A and B are shown apart, each in its own frame.
Chain A
């Protein structure tokens, strides 16, 4: 079992004729958490989808040592579980049914744990349409966990969630990584990013992409530039917190 789950070279994504980013060299190690950061429209969601083989990309990517493009859809799905947009609610799917669908043909070996971790027991027989967006988000997180995939992709896992559940999700990510799960996630909140990231990918929104160790890239100068916002560095208990000054 190689330690390098994902390896990209010259990786880039285009949308509508515009290059979102290019020349990304990214190595994702087993059991690590990679956080993708950048302003709106920089291509963060597209990066995840391209790595998952859903949209086209330039450059190369190796998944578990194999050329990405040569991996068939089923196999890809066995390797990667994705949380992204909330599924439509028109058809009256219940939470239980939605989780069954997440298992698909691969079996739901982790279902009980997923339900428990996201506190969904009481909601299992409600339809998705009846739930609040926070509850639907929890269902989506659980859906990723249901299968026993080596790679978990999250696109803003803490969106819609209250503070308690945000913290829970972040703890979940850390615990899962410690158990050997490999995680790539988009996060907006800089504190959350620095709390979980081993590695960070910065997409600057002008085509630039850089990957590296979290400590090196999550600095106030880099991020102030990236987001065009003045960030203050506050020291707390041995950690640095990077906060935008909302009052200025």
Chain B
């Protein structure tokens, strides 16, 4: 990684952190002496949010890069195989049948995600084309199920269901230290698998002839990527676009090899989500926009610009 790029990365991280800490209805300058209230806001509200955003954004971006190589398709992203759909079903069922508590809904989301993953594992041996097809169809099924549940549920709960699906970074059902640890563990696991994933970029036959056990690798990556997505969705709801756009952006800057793309995505995804969250908190303050809206607003133009530029 060239020194210029490294410097740019560090600068971006610092900028995003400052924005995340500083922005909001109250613009706080972290460098000046703080009043008690400002200190409370900074440490107990903005810092946890920043950390959750960073971890979740990084997890989604890592998962996105893995799904893209697993399915051999750059349009893949963490929700393409239906993990988000099944976890939303889990959260909504919990909402309808058990409790409106966010913690329990998150547990339901995780259970839903696990069920979705288990289903997908049955198809992984079919090869990437069929796996993608199965996943897309399954995702559509979860979508239909969600619509059904929304139609059946009492009107007052519909708002809650949507609020969960649109994503919320202010709290996480998973304790923050655990979330950060998971981010780190996912990054390490991914780096270990990077050489084999790189081989998979050449196609299955080439990968096999480079000594890779392709079927084992595909199963492992599907499991890892799905688990990472499940954790992200459990912590913060279904936030889109991070997992699709960030890996591509990182490939443009750092090349296609996973040993660079992966850590770059882990950090870049975190940055994007931190920025999106800062904007979500500030744009119509004191009210908040759903953060998924901001990732789309930032992510989609960025993605389209990338597409045009690549031509």
* Contacts from A to B (Cβ < 8 Å): 49, 52, 54, 73-74, 76-78, 80-82, 84-85, 87-88, 90-94, 97-98, 100-102, 104-105
Contacts and interface: CB of A to CB of B under 8 A. Distances in A.
A181 to B, nearest CB: 17
B209 A91 contact: no
A91 B74 contact: yes
A97 B257 contact: yes
B189 interface: no
A73 B212 contact: yes
B69 A91 contact: yes
Given A94-B255, A97-B256, A88 B209 contact: no
Contact of B209 (A52, A98, A100): A52
B256 A92 contact: yes
Contact of B202 (A49, A78, A94, A101): A101
Interface in B182-238: 195, 198-199, 201-203, 205-206, 208-213
B260 to A, nearest CB: 10
Contacts of A97: 255-257
Nearest to A103: B210
B22 interface: no
B257 A104 contact: no
A88 B199 contact: no
B73 A90 contact: yes
B195 A100 contact: no
Contacts of B202: 87-88, 98, 101
Which interface residue of A81, A100, A101 has the most chain B CB atoms within 10 A? A101
A149 to B, nearest CB: 10
B74 A54 contact: no
Nearest to A127: B256
Given A88-B72, A94-B255, A73 B208 contact: yes
Contact of A49 (B69, B72, B205, B210): B205
B198 A85 contact: no
Contacts of A93: 201, 256
A104 B199 contact: yes
A40 to B, nearest CB: 19
Nearest to B201: A91
B203 A88 contact: yes
A183 B58 CA distance: 46
Contacts of A74: 211
A87 B195 contact: no
A76 B257 contact: no
A104 B211 contact: yes
Contacts of B310: 92
A202 B211 CA distance: 29
27 contacts: A49-B205, A52-B209, A54-B205, A54-B209, A73-B211, A73-B212, A73-B213, A82-B205, A82-B206, A84-B206, A85-B203, A88-B201, A88-B202, A90-B73, A91-B69, A92-B251, A92-B310, A93-B201, A97-B256, A98-B202, A100-B257, A101-B201, A101-B210, A102-B210, A104-B195, A104-B199, A105-B211
Nearest to A102: B210
Given A91-B74, A100-B257, A84 B205 contact: yes
Contact of B195 (A85, A90, A105): A105
A85 B209 CA distance: 12
Given A100-B257, A101-B210, A91 B251 contact: yes
